[in-house]
Structures are given as structure tokens and as C-alpha cells.
Structure 1
């Protein structure tokens, strides 16, 4: 027997390639080996940036005695949840059903058929050793009960899928109830929703921004502004280099769990960009710009595309890179600036983190300060960054995940269009090209690539939705019809291979590997669900192409998510965001203009467009751009057409008239 992970593409699996555990990758061969040996399967699921995954690895998987118990009584399978979200979803549902909670590392004991019969998350070494003994004994002496338990769990998690469940068509009343429900859970002291641990509620904030635009409800905008300000000034935001950590362990956004994930930062880039668009708040603009810079600087990979995450740990210590003591600030900056920085960043002798260290927060509003103070702050940041670069740095999970890169493309395209940031515009196109040329293989998406080589795992529904939405964003950025066609290819696959037949979607294709159940989760959690991301692309594609069947498919799917939107809005943020666009129209804006003359009308359209509006600008009747068909210039000057369902108002030629049309 031997550890089989050395040839894996996943950085997470490679972290375990030197364990004395005889790890297998997820494969039919692993389950066949368990059946041949007549032993249960131990499935360990995690991801490369996960702090507690590292802890369990160091305590248990690197220990010869524990490894001996695992090797003797089990076939051990290591799974990267980011490569195989389908496997993760099935066993996470089982874990939550059996324990009432979930998380990573996830530890699952299953039959050789894959039926889970005991689940948990992190186990300390001594507890894990006792558990291994207990499961081995139960498998030997109580086999019938163990197998029956597994069958019962599979039946339960199959029944937990919301396929064929109740529906609620999208309406103003439903979205109003969702917005009210969110604000009832608002933390009016610290911003955001609920208590500790506190995750950035990016999708809920996107929904509230669109809800404010459509309804004018000021409380929705204020909830977003308050949460965005508290997060951006908190320790969850890297006050030196930009970028958000995964979550805060407290309710005040002070101490983060330090890993930085691509998907969080992509979605938060959209939040801060859109908040700036609606308010002109310089703080929101700064955070948006710095987050875009973080994505491109720290997550860009040499082979193209963006890496998945930065680790929570450095040199085996959580937060080592990021926490400071007052004396360390003085050492880096000198007495005067060191004391000034300690006051500005709330670094005290007592500390807010471990061992008397503090996570930097921005204790005062610096964006509205006088120019000399802002310059001092910028200088201090740069010097602290230089000092921080001498510390151990977090490892990077450099695999490129299709759906998360799709989220980033959409965010960067919006940021580039709205702010004029050329680096964001260029990156959106380059990353989308990587997805189109590397991840799209024989008309089907692959989920991951690394070092320029595409992996084997098939794309799941969220990959199709997020990448299709990204292609549509680039179509609007470039007015190149090839991106519209690429999005159509992906949406046609989603409709043909992922549909439930009742309006909803499964998360895996009908020709994908068979698991013990076929996951179909409509809820938005850390990332948009497959259903909501596909709906976003369907709504936008229908508006850009004028093909109503795609809109009909979106409306039917959104209705399956309607009960979640109305009853549990914190778990339907992206579905509600898409629903706001659908309820608004969405508007379609076509700007017919000779090359280079569209800028004034285009800027007005982007700054004032209603929720979810699609916008294209180019010469009339440009091939591959249906929205520009039969849109002539008026008097040989750039002309804007404001439409819904391809039915247009009278064209306008001045930015002021366009703004009046959009804000009436």
C-alpha cells in the first residue's frame, strides 16, 4: 500500500502526499478496493486554505499510529471540496443531517457503496483514534446495523433535495418581504446580519442595492452602506494590501479567519463598485479599487486566470503575516509614525488577537481627511507592507476554478466599465479567454486547471452559470458577438443536461458520475448556487439576444427558489439579486455610435441604469450583436435606445435625456 496523492493536481491533496496514510484520490478504484478488502471508506474533505484542515493533518494524518489505524481498517480517500463540490455537497448534507452542523475538514465514514453512516468535522487526535477503533469494531460486529444506517442516511439526504417542491413566482411582494426579512436580522451596532462568526453577506448586499434602485427604499441602501463601511474598516479587510478574509470570528469584524478566497473578493468587488455607483462614496470607491488590485496582484497566475485562495496560516501559524504589536510598528516606522499608526490601526499592548498582537483595523475615517493626513497614511501603509513582506507569507492555492474565475470576470468587467480602470477591463477579457480556451473542452466545461493544464473534474451547474454570466459581461465590455455565442453554448448545455424537468436544476449533469444522491441545492451560501447563477445568465442572455425561451427558463427556475427568497432571504441573496433584475425588466440599452464616440452616452447608461440592465455600444447592425440590429443613428450622432423585451422607447441623443429616461 502507498499514498497515491503525489500525482494529484490539487494543491490540497498535494499537502497530504507525504502523509503515512495510504490516501486514495476520489475514484471508482478506491471504492472497489474497499469492497475487495471488505472495509469501510473514510472520506476526508477539505481545502488548501483551511486552518482546521491543517490542524487535523498535523495532529492525525502525519502521525504514524493514527495512520496505522486508518490504513488497517479503512480505505482512506482525500477530497478537495473545491475540485469536487458535488462530492462535498452530498456528504455535507449527510453531515448536517447527522450532526446538525457542518464544516471542514469533513470526516465521513461510508460503506464501500458510498453510503455515509457516520459523519463529523474536525476531531482532535485522541478522539479520532477512539473513533477509528469504534467504527472498526462496529463494522466487524454490527455490520447489518451500520449498513442500514447508511441506507437511512442516503434516503434522508435524497429527500432533503428541493426538487419538485413548492414554487413561488417572483413578485414585488415577495422581494419586499425578503428585503424586510433581511433588515429584521441586521446587526444595527456592527453592520451585517446575525452574530459571530460573521461572514461578508455580499450577495444579500447586492440584492439590497438592486432593491433600493427599484423601490427607492432608503433603509435598504443604508444597511448596505453601514455593513460595507464596518467591513472595510474592520480587521476582516487587509488594511495594508487590500482584499477580504473569509470571515470574522467575532461580531465586530475585528479578528478574521485569515484565508482570502477568490469568490468572496470577486463578489465584494461588485458590492463596493455598485455602492460607489449609487452614492459616489469615496470610501466605497477606494475599497473597490484596492480589492481589484488585490485580485490581480496576489491571485493572478503565470498561466492565466486567478488562483483560488491564500492560506490562513504562514509557517504553520494562523495570522502570522498580518498581526502586529505596538513595538513592531515602532520598529518598522520609528517612534513618531509607529505610535501614530498604533493609534490609527487600534494596535494596543493588550491586543485583539493572540499573544498580545492585534489585527489592523481603521479606527478613524481616513478617506475624508485632509490631503496631508491621507498622504501620511499612504506612506505608512507602504512602509508596513515592506516590513510585512519580510515575514513568512501564506501559501497560495493556485488552481483556477471555473466558476470563481467567472465571478471575478463579471466583477472586473463591472469595475472597469464603471470606473474606467483599464487594468480591470483588460483582466476581465484575458481571464474570460482562459476560461473559453482552456476550460471549455468539446463543448463542456471542466471545473479546474493548474499551471495551464486542465483537470478532469467536470464542471457543475455553478460553473456553467458563473462562466456564462462572465461571457455576457465581456460581450457587453467588448461588443464582440463571439462572447454572446459562447454564453449560449453553455446555457444550452445547462438546460439540456442539468434540468429537473420541473423548472429547477440539479447541480450535476445527467451524464456525470453517479453519486449516492444527485445534489440539487437552490440556496446561496459561500457562492451563488448553481440555480441562481444560471438564472442570472439566462435573464441577461435573453435580454441581449431577444430569445424569449431563455427568459421563460429563468422565470421557471426562479419560481423554484421563490420559497427560499421569501422565507430565508439570507440564503437566497443571489437568487433575489437576479429576481430584482427580472422584475425590473431587465432594461436593455443599445447605444448606436461610430467607434470612439459612444463614451458620453455609455457613461450615463452605466451610472444610472436600473437593476440588471444589459448595455451594448457599437456601430448599428454590428454582426453578432442582436441588440444593435435596426438601431440607426439619429442625425448621424450617437443614439441611445432604452428597451424592455426588445421594445424600445423613442431614441435619445444626449446624456441628460438618457439619464432622465432611466431615472423617471
Structure 2
């Protein structure tokens, strides 16, 4: 026995105490995260979270709060003890989760109340996004806003009756006392009534539908709403705290490609210019933080999420293809460098996140300590001035490096100086890295790397994407038994709709059509419910239906995009019918509030009108209209067993018709019936007009498909 203390206000059996002692002893190089240490540095307390693998749960394994992990066992214990559940939901790199832990969950007074009157439960939102989403909706219904940490009080059957987010300790103690007293006193019926109303709303609201509607005007309305929200001075769509809102940017750029709407294009590009210059962008190490607390993108909340790297890489790749700005290409390259250097496992899979907090020079946890640069630590005057380190710091820890938007910068000189700073910074204590390998988040990153590799002719990025896909399938597959994540070499949780949709889109970006189709079919088979696709059918109160696209696209929207892209790449009448039915089921809500589901709206346009971007996969042919500084190259990758044959009736003996460009034709391969165009065809182009129209007809040895015509908008 290690002599661990029983948490205050808690009771536990001798058998459980032994089990927890043994679980702690089995951890190698484990560093307890708590103030409650004995003289030898060992923890005074341990709770059931010590048996978990989630870095977030392990962070709380030595709180005096006697935490249980989320699950049926905790709810059953609450029912047996006739106590309410206190559920705290967060994630490993969440700054305000750390603050609430410091103030309350590692406090003996708070722990005594929680342990004596509640069943305290911790949940990693990244491990169970379905449970997280259900209770985030409850908090939103009660307060019209929500976030993390999410604090929810539940009946023993899982229905919530009171919610909140971060509570300072005095307020938290007051709320705990009032609920504990009300539970034992005369308010049980009141709690039951609120729980019934909330649970009913949580089931009803996501499932609400509107009569099917035409979506013809929805894109224009969505753009009008976004342009109205657009911050013309600083970019973005807020007058305060700024999030990248990548879905807005991708939708606006797609809309410009379809319509030529300059306002949509300019809102997206202006936002990306300011983000690339601001402190949101980690200028020293590459990659992007999750958001900034100010309107001019200067002061980040320093956590770095894999999904932000993926979605912003896609945004900057698309923006480069439109505008050809060096800062856009640089943002993509530096983001890829960061992910491949700091966020990649030995087998090639990608880790989840890095924390906002790290140790400062005094050994105290401080938000941004790893990232700030006091001016005296940078000897190069030009570098210090270029990074605006002389400006008054907006953080106590020190200044955040940022560029002046629109200013001319010698990037070669800057990047040389930044690399020296990065090497020096790496000697500082690094923030915690969350080493979970989440299938869906990896899918987002794999797609971004594969698309960037194609756009910038960087085969090493494409190879890294393919290696990551193989690693994820090894860890989490096969598809029919797909798990959501890998922790410490152990598969955990069943894959949800987002995991299958995002990995399916990743497979499609790599040209793995069969695997993409299998992912789509698995998603349809597992998550269909009443004409919709649920994130999961097994949420705490039944199927979890998503109501909007948030920081990441919803699983339902992404599944629709996968189905739409597959309809062009590998047409299947049954799959298309299901995609059309899903559009119909969503159309009423999309028509009412299109800006809430931009990814679904964009996907519906792909299904109806085809893709509009610089890369298209149509049957056996993939087209990539790639920018090469001032000119462009059209790459056609023709699948094995297929070719484009110049018909005898064509005087120029060429299999393609191109309008809207000047072109230098290469020599074709000679075949028995004339010139044959197969494998990869690279055509240098110079724009001549507003659009490029390309027509062709693919043939196999025994048959030909119908002719195809696509159109690209020239920047």
C-alpha cells in the first residue's frame, strides 16, 4: 500500500483503494498534477481517473475530488446513492478548464462538498463528442451560450437540470450548496421538472424539421449574412473575440468560384491576410492557435488544435490558388512543417493538440509562456521591429510576435531569424501535447496535406498524408469495426459519423475511391435515422443530431459532401438517391438559416452542380488546375486502364477541348489507332478570359463513358 489518503467527504472500499494503488504504481514516469503532494513528491490522493488513458482525465487523477469517468457505472452509483451527478466536461488543452481545476477541483473545501453530496464525473469531450454535444445543447438552452469547461448537474438517469460553464470558486461553492440542500429538501420535484423539460427539448430541437424548400436563393442569402457580419478593418466576422471560422471562408471562396461574387472573395481573402499576419499565427514555430481574445488577431488563446491546422491549411491552399500571395503559400508550408515536426507520431499518425499553458521561468503554469518574446531576448533589431515586439504587450507574460498586415516583408530574411528563435524556444518547457490519435481529426489533416501536396507540387506532403492514413487504419480499422481514437496503443470508443465522414474525405483526397465509398456506406448503414444522419445513435438521451456546423463541420454536412464528391468520382444510383434524400431532409432548415449549415449548403451545391474548386475527380480522371506563380498548369491524372484517345474525326488529333486559355500542347503517346493520352497529362496554361472550359471523353479498352465538360473560374 502507498498510504494514499481517502478524498475528503468520500468513502471507498478497501478493494477499490488497492486497485487504485496498483494503477498508480503501474504508471511509469508519471508526474502528478496537483498541489496536494507529500514531502517525497508523491500524491496524497488518487481517484478512478488514474485507470484512464485520456490525458485530460489523467490531469485530474490526483484531485481531492473523487472523480469517476463517464459511463453507466457512474450513473448507476448515483441512483444507488440517491445523489445527483456533477458532470464536468473539458479537454486536455483547455485553459479555463485548467483555471477551474486550480481554483476548485484541487481545493479541499470544494472536494468535500462534491464528494459528500454528488457523484462527480469527468468527461473528455474529444473522447466522447456525442455526450459533449448533448450537454452543450443543454447549457445553450438554459443560458443561450456554452463552452468549456461545461458544468452540468444531472439526475441519476442522465437528464440535466442545471448547467453552467466556468464558475469562480465562491460562486461554485454557493451553487453546490444550494443544489445539495435542494436535493435533500423540498426541491427534488423542481429539479425533476426542469430535467424533464430540458431532456424533452434536447431530443426535440435537433430533430425539428421544416417542409422541404428550394435552395436556389440560400447561397446568396448566406453570403449577404456573412458580408454583413464581416469586419472590414480586421477581417473575420466579429467585433470582439475572433475565431478563424474556416467554414465561412471555404464557403465564400467556393461561392466566388461559382458566381464571381467579388464581395464574397474579398471577405475571405482579407480575413486570411490578417490571420496570417496576426498573433493567431505562430510566427516562430508555424501553425495556428485556436482563437484570439482581441479583434485584430493579435493576442491568441494559445492552444493549438489539429483540426484548426487542417482547416486553415485548406483555406490558405484555396486562397493561394485564387490570389497567388506569397504569405498564403508560406502559411501553408509553415503549418505543414509544424504538424509534421511536432504533431506526428512515429508511425505517421497525427496527435490532437498542444496546451495553451506551460511553465514560465519561475516554474509556474502560465498561459502563453512558451510563445511570448520579451524584446530583450531578441538581439536582431530588424527582426524585433518586424515582429512588433516593441509594441506594448497585451499579456503579462510578454509580447506576442505579429506582423503588420499588408506591410512588405523580406520573408527569406525573416524566416532565417525565426528558425533561430524556434531553436531557442525549443529549450523552454513545452506545453502539454495531447497524444490522442483521433480518427476524424486525422482525416481532416490528411485531406489538407493531400490537397496542399497537389496544389504546390509537394509530393512529400502527399506521401505524409498517405502514411498517416495507413497508420490510422492500422490503429483504428478495419472500416466495419472502426474505432474513434487510439490512446496508449488501445482502441477506444466506436467511430462516430464525423470520424467516418472525415476519413472518407481523406481517402478520396488520396484517390482511394474504394475505401472512401466503404466509409460512406458504413456511415449510411450505422447512423441513418428518420431521414437524417446522427452523430451517433447511442447518445445519453438517444440519437445525437447536429444542428449546425461549428468549429468543425458537422458529421452530417461532411457525410453529405462525401456522398456528393463520390457521385462524381464513382457514381452509384443508390448512394445518390440517399444523398438527395438527405438534402431534402435538411433543405427546410437550410433555407430558413443557411449561415448555420454552410458546409451542408456547399455540399448540396456539389451534388446539384458539381464541384467548383481547383481540383476535381470525375470518374477515372482527376483534374488539378495548379497555380505556378503568374501562370497555371492543368494536370490530368488518368486512372490505370483508362485513356483519352484522339478521335480520327479530330483534325488536331487532341482529346481535350480547352476554351479560355492559351496552351502549349505536349506530344502524345503513339497508339495503334492514333495518339493516346494516358497516365498524367500536364498542360501549361495562360488565362485568356474569365473562365476555363475543359471537355473530354474517357475510354477503356472496351467502352467509353459519356463526354464531360467542366468549368474553372480564372482568378
* TM-score computed with the length of structure 1 as normaliser: 0.86
Structure 1 partner of 2:603:
578
Alignment counterpart, residue 501 of structure 1, candidates 530, 544, 564: 530
Q: Secondary structure at the match of 1:635?
A: strand
Structure 2 partner of 1:342:
384
* Larger deviation, residues 428-437 vs 281-290: 428-437
Instruction: Supply the distance in 1 between the matched residues of 2:115 and 2:366 (Cα, whole angstroms).
Output: 29
Structure with more of its chain in strand, by fraction: 2
Structure 2 partner of 1:427:
464
Query: Is the CA contact 1:12–1:47 (under 8 Å) kept in the aligned structure 2?
Result: yes
Structure 2 partner of 1:23:
67
Alignment counterpart, residue 432 of structure 2, candidates 365, 380, 395: 395
Alignment counterpart, residue 529 of structure 1, candidates 531, 554, 578: 554
Give the CA deviation at 1:125. Answer: 1.4
Any residues of structure 2 matched to 1:341-490 within 5 Å, and which?
341-348=383-390, 350-354=392-396, 357-363=398-404, 365=406, 369=409, 373-441=410-478, 443-455=480-492, 457-475=493-511, 483-490=512-519
Query: Is the CA contact 1:325–1:358 (under 8 Å) kept in the aligned structure 2?
Result: yes
Give the CA deviation at 1:289. Answer: 1.1
* Larger deviation, residues 489-498 vs 151-160: 489-498
How has the CA–CA distance of structure 1 residues 576 and 607 changed in structure 2, closer, same or farther, with 3 Å as cutoff? farther
Matched, 1:261 2:305: yes
Instruction: Supply the distance in 2 between the matched residues of 1:389 and 1:605 (Cα, whole angstroms).
Output: 35
Give CA-to-partner distance per residue, 1:68-125, whole Å, 9 cap, x none: 1111111111000011011111111111111221011111111110111111111111
Matched, 1:159 2:184: no
Structure 2 partner of 1:546:
571
Q: Secondary structure at the match of 1:20?
A: coil
Matched, 1:636 2:636: no
Instruction: Supply the distance in 1 between the matched residues of 2:424 and 2:242 (Cα, whole angstroms).
Output: 29
Query: Is the CA contact 1:524–1:532 (under 8 Å) kept in the aligned structure 2?
Result: yes
Matched, 1:200 2:236: no
Structure 2 partner of 1:321:
370
Structure 2 partner of 1:239:
283
Any residues of structure 2 matched to 1:592-631 within 5 Å, and which?
603-604=624-625, 617-621=638-642
Instruction: Supply the distance in 2 between the matched residues of 1:65 and 1:663 (Cα, whole angstroms).
Output: 64
Which structure has the larger Rg? 2
* Larger deviation, residues 148-157 vs 357-366: 357-366
How has the CA–CA distance of structure 1 residues 607 and 162 changed in structure 2, closer, same or farther, with 3 Å as cutoff? farther
Give the CA deviation at 1:201. Answer: 1.6
* Larger deviation, residues 159-168 vs 533-542: 159-168
Q: Secondary structure at the match of 2:533?
A: coil
Any residues of structure 2 matched to 1:240-319 within 5 Å, and which?
240-315=284-359, 316-319=365-368
How has the CA–CA distance of structure 1 residues 272 and 545 changed in structure 2, closer, same or farther, with 3 Å as cutoff? same
How has the CA–CA distance of structure 1 residues 303 and 34 changed in structure 2, closer, same or farther, with 3 Å as cutoff? farther
Alignment counterpart, residue 76 of structure 1, candidates 87, 111, 120: 120
Give the CA deviation at 1:651. Answer: 4.0
Give the CA deviation at 1:570. Answer: 4.2
Q: Secondary structure at the match of 1:636?
A: strand
Instruction: Supply the distance in 2 between the matched residues of 1:586 and 1:346 (Cα, whole angstroms).
Output: 41
How has the CA–CA distance of structure 1 residues 399 and 202 changed in structure 2, closer, same or farther, with 3 Å as cutoff? same
Query: Is the CA contact 1:181–1:569 (under 8 Å) kept in the aligned structure 2?
Result: no
Alignment counterpart, residue 186 of structure 1, candidates 226, 230, 235: 230
Q: Secondary structure at the match of 2:122?
A: strand
Give CA-to-partner distance per residue, 1:340-364, whole Å, 9 cap, x none: 2232112236312225x21111126
Give CA-to-partner distance per residue, 1:441-470, whole Å, 9 cap, x none: 470321111233311x11221111111111
Query: Is the CA contact 1:533–1:574 (under 8 Å) kept in the aligned structure 2?
Result: yes
* TM-score computed with the length of structure 2 as normaliser: 0.80
Query: Is the CA contact 1:178–1:565 (under 8 Å) kept in the aligned structure 2?
Result: no
Give the CA deviation at 1:535. Answer: 0.6
Instruction: Supply the distance in 2 between the matched residues of 1:571 and 1:324 (Cα, whole angstroms).
Output: 38
Structure ranking higher on relative contact order (CA contacts 8 Å, 6+ apart): 1
How has the CA–CA distance of structure 1 residues 125 and 615 changed in structure 2, closer, same or farther, with 3 Å as cutoff? farther
Query: Is the CA contact 1:591–1:639 (under 8 Å) kept in the aligned structure 2?
Result: no
Instruction: Supply the distance in 1 between the matched residues of 2:447 and 2:464 (Cα, whole angstroms).
Output: 11
Instruction: Supply the distance in 2 between the matched residues of 1:352 and 1:250 (Cα, whole angstroms).
Output: 9
Instruction: Supply the distance in 2 between the matched residues of 1:529 and 1:113 (Cα, whole angstroms).
Output: 27
Q: Secondary structure at the match of 1:79?
A: strand
Aligned CA RMSD, in angstroms, stands at: 2.9
Instruction: Supply the distance in 1 between the matched residues of 2:514 and 2:446 (Cα, whole angstroms).
Output: 17
How has the CA–CA distance of structure 1 residues 390 and 563 changed in structure 2, closer, same or farther, with 3 Å as cutoff? farther
Any residues of structure 2 matched to 1:98-177 within 5 Å, and which?
98-141=142-185, 142-171=187-216, 173-177=217-221
* Larger deviation, residues 90-99 vs 556-565: 556-565
Instruction: Supply the distance in 2 between the matched residues of 1:443 and 1:591 (Cα, whole angstroms).
Output: 25
Structure 2 partner of 1:597:
none
Alignment counterpart, residue 132 of structure 2, candidates 88, 94, 99: 88
Instruction: Supply the distance in 1 between the matched residues of 2:290 and 2:70 (Cα, whole angstroms).
Output: 27
Instruction: Supply the distance in 1 between the matched residues of 2:620 and 2:482 (Cα, whole angstroms).
Output: 34
How has the CA–CA distance of structure 1 residues 246 and 570 changed in structure 2, closer, same or farther, with 3 Å as cutoff? farther
How has the CA–CA distance of structure 1 residues 196 and 80 changed in structure 2, closer, same or farther, with 3 Å as cutoff? same
Q: Secondary structure at the match of 1:443?
A: helix
Structure 2 partner of 1:645:
none
* Larger deviation, residues 319-328 vs 309-318: 319-328
Give the CA deviation at 1:245. Answer: 0.7
Give the CA deviation at 1:589. Answer: 5.1
Q: Secondary structure at the match of 2:162?
A: strand
Give the CA deviation at 1:403. Answer: 1.1
Give the CA deviation at 1:640. Answer: 9.0
How has the CA–CA distance of structure 1 residues 568 and 342 changed in structure 2, closer, same or farther, with 3 Å as cutoff? farther
How has the CA–CA distance of structure 1 residues 37 and 29 changed in structure 2, closer, same or farther, with 3 Å as cutoff? same
Instruction: Supply the distance in 2 between the matched residues of 1:177 and 1:149 (Cα, whole angstroms).
Output: 37
